[in-house]
Chain A
Amino acid sequence: MCLGIALASSEIPNELFARHALGHRVHERGGEPEVRFLYRDRHPRLPVWRDGRLQIARWGNAGRKSRFLPETGWTWQATIDQGYWKNLNPVMVDIPASLGLERGVWYRIRQGVRGLLVPDENRVAVVYMICEPSSHYYQIMTRSTRMPLLIEERI
């Protein structure tokens, strides 16, 4: 599963940089700097488009910050289709991403990844990355059996 994403720094408004102290997430590998959001971060976060605005939300329920949300950062598309999230009033969101990270492989993402936003018991927004079974290419490239549900893209 996708353990992190990177977003071109130009995609993130300055106001968000300051409010969420994103400075330490900026990385340079050449070309345009990028902002990394990794599940292994002490405070895992993901950018999401909500109500036409880019916002930063908590990524999953690592460390069991919520007592009733699943302790993971991902969910299957099939699980959503089967209605398992229905009672939590989920909202489908887009997670903008320039790159995805899976087992050490950084791969290009054109737009982003689909996500599911749900509130925890304190009404804090928590986002889960939506997954689907890996394509043949993705499985060979990353050796992973699941891949993120990409927005209008199939790799």
Chain B
Amino acid sequence: MTIKQGMKAIGHLDADCFYVSAERVRDGFLRGKPVGVLGNQGACVIAKSYEMKGAGVSTGMPIWDALVKCPEGVYVKRDFRWYEVLSRLMLEVAREVSPRVEYYSIDEFFFTVVEPRGGTFQGLADSIRDRVWERVGVPVTVGIARTRTLAKLISDAAKPFGALAVMDRGAEERLLSDRPVTEITGIAGRRAARLAPWGITTCLDLARADRRLVRSLLTASGEELWWELNGDPVRSVQARRPAHKALSRGGSFGESTSDPAVLHAWLVRNLERLIEELEYHGVSAGRLTIAIPYKSGQLGVGQVNLAVPSDRFDVLLDVARPALRKAWIPRATATHMHVIAEHLTSRSDCSGDLFEPPARGVRARAVAQLKREVNARHGRFALRSAATLALAPIYRDAANSHDICDVRGKSCF
């Protein structure tokens, strides 16, 4: 089937090794070299150039393993402020060519497109890629197809610095036939293992499989993928991010720890960051979960339901402490912590705690307001809980005050 002129399609723009490309925009010395961007306070490679990837370094690899694979690698520190600047410039370019753009992640956008009069989708894909390169200096790959799942698969296949529009079913099938099913966003190891006994290993196998079988194996979301692979757009481009079902803050410690005082400091840091997010979205948390992965492979989880949803530091800390106690495994070395707020309620819908002395709430709100004002003037975390003193080196490093999760408006991570 061929799309006729004036027909709509979906585009996917994906920056090529974005963090490295962003560093190269401001630092020409890094061009052509194997470059790794370090996260987790310098412990892990969170992005790598194609040169480093060719040497066998993968994303998430500890730097000490990466050094063995690529001793000539050059390492730079992550800078999400800079990456966000370039990300928003790319977003601007996408918005120039489309009225409906989804800010999917810091380096990926979906958008609707109409075949230009007198032009082709292929020409449009070329021009978007070239415009981002000229204006932002970041190499990107653009895929255009009938559905967003196909568009993403096509841009993945065209990397790096590619532009490809595939609107013909025959061409789609050729492309799907040599892509493993795990290339589809939403199908990872466990779901792929469910498909394998039925002989479904490539994207084309999935597209040609019986729809009811796919639904029984992968539920309704799997069926959506089936429709998408067959050219029926069922997943729309969402120009506005849907309301969050949960908000979370946390991540790697960089340096693993078994010290309860340090764990408590991380709890307070993550909670303060989470409260900023609750305030930004105007919601209160009805449930708080603390998850702590340990080096041994164990996962400690503590969960507490609040009697009344809240976004107040004093209230949330009171419930977070017992949750931390539940998640804590004595003497075990923890590597990460995640603080998750669920059962989110709009702040205007919260009735407040009828049994709390009114003065306590007034005082807590006044302290929160003061904290916001001081930090707005003197920098994020300038005024914070003294419980975070054990993390002084973390706060001293300005790079830690703006993380990937602080880039707002993305529909994915």
Chain A residue with the shortest CB-CB distance to B73: A106
Residues 96-155 of A contacting B (Cβ, < 8 Å): 98-99, 104-108, 110, 135-142, 154-155
For A141, the chain B residues whose CB sits under 8 A away are 38, 42-43, 63, 75
Q: How far is the CB of A155 from chain B (nearest CB, A)?
A: 5
Majority SS of interface residues in chain A? mixed
Q: Is A31 an interface residue (CB 8 A)?
A: yes
Contact of A106 among B40, B42, B75, B254 (CB under 8 A): B75
Binding site for A on B (CB under 8 A): 27, 29-34, 38, 40-43, 51, 63, 67, 71-77, 254-255, 393-394, 396-399
A-B contact pairs, 8 of them (CB 8 A): A29-B74, A98-B29, A108-B74, A110-B27, A136-B255, A140-B255, A141-B38, A154-B398
Nearest CB in chain A: distance from B102 CB, A: 33
Kindly list 6 other residue pairs between chains A and B, CB separation below 8 angstroms, not including A30-B72, A99-B74, A155-B77.
A30-B51, A31-B29, A107-B76, A135-B396, A139-B42, A141-B42
A30 to B34, CA, bound (A): 7
Q: Cα distance A155–B43 when bound, in Å?
A: 14
* A136 and B396 contact, CB distance less than 8 A: yes
Cβ-defined partner of B254 (8 Å) among A98, A107, A140, A155 = A140
Closest to B398 in A: A154
Of B42, B51, B73, B74, which is within 8 A of A137 by CB? Answer: B42
Minimum Cβ distance to chain A for residue B81 (Å):
14
Question: Is B393 within 8 A of A30, CB to CB?
Answer: no
Q: How far is the CA of A107 from the CA of B67 in the complex (A)?
A: 12
Whether B32 pairs with A30 at a CB distance below 8 angstroms is yes
Specify which chain A residues have a CB less than 8 angstroms from the CB of B27 in the assembled complex: 108, 110
Question: B29, B72, B394, B396: which contacts A32 (Cβ < 8 A)?
Answer: B29
4 smallest CB-CB distances across A and B, nearest first, come from A31-B32, A141-B42, A136-B393, A140-B42
Chain A interface size, as a band, is: 20 to 34
Given known pairs A107-B74, A107-B75, the reply for A140 and B34 (CB within 8 Å) is no
Chain A contacts to B: CB under 8 angstroms: 8, 29-32, 98-99, 104-108, 110, 135-142, 154-155
In the bound complex, what is the Cα–Cα distance between A138 and B254 (angstroms)? 12
Assembled-state Cα–Cα distance A31/B29 (Å) = 7
CB distance from A150 to the nearest CB of B (A): 12
Please determine whether B394 and A136 come into contact, CB atoms closer than 8 angstroms: yes
Q: Is the CB of B33 within 8 A of A140?
A: no
B residues less than 8 Å from A105 (CB atoms): 63, 67, 75
How far is B31's CA from A8's CA once the two chains are assembled, in angstroms?
A: 12
A64 to chain B, nearest CB (A): 31
Q: How far is the CA of A45 from the CA of B398 in the complex (A)?
A: 34
Chain A residues with CB under 8 A of B51: 30
Closest residue on chain B to residue A11 by CB atoms: B29
B67 near A104 (CB under 8 angstroms)?
yes
